[in-house]
């Protein structure tokens, strides 16, 4: 049987979802692809687990692209009308609850690493944008878009919080001992910087010191693109050895031996005080 058209699916939909992405800067195509892929995976997982549906029940249709805005309709297909309504409503509630958990940090103990990866892919583009937002809406076909129900909406700051929490979950402690390796708001400084972009979760060749943990220069691994972007944007314009970074890191250990740090979040960037002065220097970025 040939695939049904958008208009055919819409007539049969009853209800459908719309993603509205507002960004002040262009979005990378790979980020957009990962966003839709992870959204579709979540949708499929819910439909399979809760309603016994097969894979690929969601169809994504780009309804509108204009400067700073993308709108995508998500239509459920290949299921009878009653199940379609149940799936659309049930998934919308699940997605809203999941996003809010990661924004508020209340995800621990009830979300999987796979869920963390899904959330990271979905919020990443908004988190990287200076003034972005994303909204998921549920629309009844009979009532039309003017009566859309906003399921969940988040802005750049909320996306950054969700991305940090999702990254922490994905990196995740597998044991209680590993949980103790997460260090919050420690001061990091560079001894060997690299001004070029690095791959996430791979050694960069950079060396840093976190005196609170060890006085030795150790390798730095970026666990978050957002954290890397914050640092690279500053060190390319300033004297890196005069900067301090208030950060969250995981201690990267093999056995009991400290091998480096995985950088999760950058809270503040500031100028280090002169040797003859005490305290923290002037704040550059918060």
Phi and psi at 30, nearest 5°, equal: -65, -35
Task: Tell me: pLDDT of 160 over 70.
Answer: yes
* Distance (Å, whole) CA 136 – CA 148: 10
Closest C-alpha to 94, from 70, 78, 73, 118: 118
Tell me the C-alpha distance between 253 and 258, whole Å. 4
Q: Specify the pTM.
A: 0.75
Q: What are 78-99's pLDDT values in tens digits? A: 665 557 778 899 999 999 999 9
Confidence of residue 179 (pLDDT cuts 50, 70, 90): low
pLDDT at 249: 93
When pLDDT is cut at 50, 70 and 90, the band that residue 178 belongs to is low
Question: Which of the four pLDDT bands, split at 50, 70 and 90, describes residue 107?
Answer: confident
CA dist 7 and 238 (Å) reads 55
Strands 243-254 and 257-271: antiparallel
| pLDDT given for residue 225 in this prediction | 84
- Please state, in angstroms and as integers, the Cα–Cα distance from residue 8 to each residue in 13, 146, 174, 219, following that order: 9, 21, 47, 56
pLDDT of 68:
92
Handedness of CA 241, 247, 253, 256 (dihedral sign): positive
Q: Contact 41/29 with Cβ under 8 angstroms?
A: no
Give the confidence band of 1 by pLDDT, cuts at 50, 70, 90.
very low
Kind plus residue range of the DSSP H or E element containing 8: helix 6-13
- Condensed to tens digits (0 to 9), the pLDDT of residues 197-229 reads 778 888 888 999 999 999 999 999 998 888 888
Tokens of 117: 């990866």
Q: Are 19 and 124 in contact (CB under 8 A)?
A: no
Q: How many CB atoms lie within 10 A of CB 132?
A: 22
Q: What is the pLDDT of residue 261?
A: 94
Let me know how long the chain is.
Answer: 286
């Amino acid at each position: 049987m040939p695939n049904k058209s958008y208009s055919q699916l819409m007539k049969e939909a009853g209800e459908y979802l719309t993603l509205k992405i507002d960004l002040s800067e262009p979005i990378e195509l790979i980020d957009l692809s990962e966003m839709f892929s992870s959204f579709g995976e979540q949708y499929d997982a819910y439909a399979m687990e809760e309603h016994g549906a097969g894979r690929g029940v969601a169809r994504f249709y780009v309804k509108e692209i204009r400067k700073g805005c993308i709108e995508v309709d998500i239509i459920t297909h290949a299921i009878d009308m009653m199940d379609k309504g149940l799936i659309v409503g049930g998934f919308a509630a699940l997605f809203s609850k999941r996003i809010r958990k990661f924004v508020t940090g209340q995800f621990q103990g009830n979300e999987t690493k796979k869920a963390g990866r899904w959330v990271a892919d979905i919020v990443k583009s908004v988190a990287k944008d200076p003034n972005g937002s994303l909204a998921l809406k549920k629309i009844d076909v009979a009532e039309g878009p003017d009566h859309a129900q906003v399921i969940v909406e988040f802005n750049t700051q909320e996306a950054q919080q969700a991305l940090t929490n999702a990254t922490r979950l994905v990196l995740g402690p597998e044991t209680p001992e590993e949980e103790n390796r997460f260090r919050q708001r420690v001061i990091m400084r560079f001894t060997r910087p690299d001004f070029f972009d690095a791959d996430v979760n791979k050694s960069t060749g950079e060396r840093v010191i976190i005196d609170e943990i060890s006085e030795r220069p150790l390798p730095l691994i970026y666990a978050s693109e957002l954290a890397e972007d914050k640092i690279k944007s500053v060190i390319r314009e300033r004297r890196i050895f005069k900067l301090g970074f208030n950060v969250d890191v995981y201690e990267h250990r093999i056995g009991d031996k400290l091998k480096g740090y995985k950088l999760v979040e950058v809270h503040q960037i500031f100028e280090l005080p002169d040797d003859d002065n005490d305290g923290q220097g002037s704040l550059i970025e918060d």
